[in-house]
Structure 1
């Protein structure tokens, strides 16, 4: 953990410290929208290059503002939807590889679409606070570009979708807020919108739900150190997705820094941090490439509640699809959604809530056993899944937790629950029986497992499981018990 903190500190220092060499520039970067005075006349020579992507040659054709002939030359089709990809802050002044992967994925998903890359490298390849200041100018240029398309070839702004990564997310937001008239841009997607100099700012000074008819955002690297995080933590959209809690992502561990340094040199440190930041991009690309494996996220107050499996409901629009195929719905208040993912593409996992009703037969004694669970499904099986309860087992209580599976096992039809005990546990249990023989006969005190209730997030199916051995509900260390689907015999006792 200390290594991760150091890594984040190094990146944040790299972002912020160079700005001090430019004196008052950091202060300028924080100027409000009301001080933005760029005029139409100033923009005849745009800093932004609008590159229309063509999948046939995997090249691009530049469209110039106010030059209609370039629209014809590049075969821009005003009757088709438009997606504009907006990159973020640039360290090396080169367009990153993910941009072309996303453009290709968009064209593969919908052949009948215009895809433009908004290249603002000249303004993005600056000290971070200067690039922050430039986001407003670039946002204005994109707004003017869309207005020009609307005025000259009757392309509707409501048919435009801006996808912005890091600083590009805020550029997209400014484009939406600067565009004139009452009609808004159709959709803006913010991919781990930048945090430094934007966190805690007013909606007019960052991406916000007011910037388009529909705004969605994916947060993947919001782990804070010294009050800063690479990605913005606060909600900025109608639907804000927080994969794996949004703080960090699987597969981006500090252990990979040495491999990145070997490949990229000293910039490998930034590559390691970039892994979690850029994961937002690859989650979105994944949603385009794998139509049969769309990731579902669920409305929840926080990741801790989500990890208990308490939020796997799709009632009243409480769940939504992450990425390109999201269900677009304007909400009066931002909605935070959580999900788990794999470390690599395809990222989709299947979410299950398990609720186990335990009775601990030792009065006043809390125990913290380790369990494994094996599931038999109608399609596949999942074996030896480790189970971690958020609290120790005490008294008569139902415990809820979340399990995720990489594969679709179908409908769960049988569960095997094993108490991963040892000989030490066995001896302890025998000692307890000798000292406190509170039960009749020879039966040892143990855990009574009354029911196991399962809810599948993706299908919303629910089922109750009871012990296959009706006469013996006890579970002891090193023992495995089988549970099968049953009528809820304990319904009246087990309601929470």
Structure 2
């Protein structure tokens, strides 16, 4: 009898397990029946681990504490923290973890707090996420329940409302955020950072992030190639939010490469047992983190598809139809565009990733005969100036207008001047001279037009200053 009593006490303390369901105190019950397992999208059924095995931690960052404070849903513990009930609260839930960047959620909290006073809670569940993939996907459900339990604790003890909470989830963490929204009705916002594809794309809405999970759901897609051999796009491609962003087309990010391997390698990839470049997948949280300090570098353009965007067909922005991807996305008025609109933008291959976009049309004047050469233009603003951008390489034909889409990492402010330069690697004894006689510059974010007029023609490698046209 004593052994039976002990066994019963263990089940009461840690949960009661059946063939298809497990229950944990304060967190509810979890089934491995459809739609959670045994479906086309989720063929392997798994029950989530015990919370202690998952090892979830809540790390609180505020502007008042230099280091994080580990918190739990305990009134006595919370009394000695810097949690402020008058501030908005953000939870950051990581998913796929690269060894070099396992603590990125903590870094994101630190970036946020440079610019605003919030309660930022970085989640940690490294043991639970570094499991075989099907297991990790189900462990995320317990993490979601733990976050929901913490939110309910705040709502009861601090009289906060659900709309004051924002959940930011990456990869598996994005779908955990969706489950939080199911457990906490009227949640304010969920941000999905490249929600992971395997076991979720095409699956029942109950198991994945969906626009119904919060009042505002924004999603950034960065690794949306199909999850097939030698592509292995970990991220979803389908639209699942109120607003979905596809930087660089959403499939292959500048500075990253395609993922090699086979779908059968998923467990080894996920647990870090084989070499895998998670660069594309990680870009989503890198972009978002930068957006907290450099929002204007992430202007996104409504466009029907990535090819139309790449061809410049959706430039410039017709105000107010262009949102800012990342932290400031919630400021966008969704009624300004049709439902189901996709948003595209360009980023750089290295930090800073944000870009400021312009289109330049340059009317060339100069020697009567065409000559081979290379032309460059640069922008000078009231804040700083850009590097030179190659306008054209080939024959330089006076009277012809050359066009260039410029993406720069410099926030130059108001454009005060442009510069023009040309050179040639072939000696020309006639020493021709050229001029940017007129430049029309259109700013992408708001369609503002600048006009510049050049007078003096310049020789090879001589910089021409092109000031604003005089009325």
Task: Please give the TM-score of this superposition, normalised by the length of structure 1.
Answer: 0.66
Aligned mate of 1:51, from 37, 58, 61: 58
Give matches, 1:57-456, under 5 Å. Answer: 58-64=67-73, 67-74=74-81, 76-90=83-97, 96-111=102-117, 113-176=118-181, 178-179=182-183, 183-201=185-203, 203-224=205-226, 225-226=228-229, 228-252=232-256, 269-270=275-276, 273-288=277-292, 290=293, 294-301=296-303, 302-329=305-332, 331=334, 332-341=339-348, 343-345=350-352, 347-356=353-362, 371-378=375-382, 380-382=384-386, 384-387=388-391, 400-417=403-420, 423=426, 452-456=439-443
Give the 3-state SS of the residue equivalent to 1:109 in structure 2. Answer: coil
- How far the C-alpha of 1:159 sits from its partner, in A, is 0.5
Provide the residue aligned with 2:24 in structure 1. Answer: none
The Cα of 1:74 is off from its aligned counterpart by 4.3
Q: Given that residues 317 and 446 in structure 2 are in contact (C-alpha distance below 8 angstroms), is that contact kept between their aligned partners in structure 1? A: no
List gaps (5 residues or longer) in structure 1.
Answer: 1-23, 255-265, 360-366, 431-443, 489-496
* TM-score relative to the length of structure 2: 0.69
User: Over the residues paired in the alignment, what is the CA RMSD in angstroms?
Assistant: 4.8
Taking the aligned partners of 1:229 and 1:131, their CA distance within structure 2 comes to 18
Shift of 1:97: 1.9
Shift of 1:467: 5.5
Equivalent residue number for residue 18 of structure 2: none
Check if 1:457 corresponds to 2:444.
Answer: yes
How many Å separate the matches in 2 of 1:135 and 1:283?
A: 23
Residue 212 of structure 1: how far off its partner (Å): 1.0
Structure 1 residues 115 and 356 mapped into 2: Cα distance closer, same or farther (>3 Å)? same
Secondary structure of the residue aligned to 1:169 is helix
Q: Report how far residue 69 of structure 1 moved.
A: 3.7
Partners of 2:283 and 2:417 in 1: how far apart? 36
Normalized per residue, the structure richer in helix is 1
Asked if 1 retains the 8 angstrom alpha-carbon contact of 2:381 and 2:416, the reply is yes
Distance 1:303 1:464, change over 3 A: farther
CA distance in 2, matches of 1:307, 1:355: 18
Q: 1:279 to 1:454 in 2, by over 3 A?
A: same
Cα deviation code 1:405-459 (max 9, x no counterpart): 23244444554555655549x89xx9xxxxxxxxxxxxx9xx9988542112356
CA drift at 1:51: 1.5
In 2, Cα distance between the equivalents of 1:156 and 1:408? 37
Alignment gaps of 5+ in structure 2: 1-32, 259-271, 366-370
Partner Cα distance (2:380, 2:401) in 1: 23
Inter-partner Cα distance in structure 2 for 1:410 and 1:75: 38
Number of aligned residue pairs: give it. 413
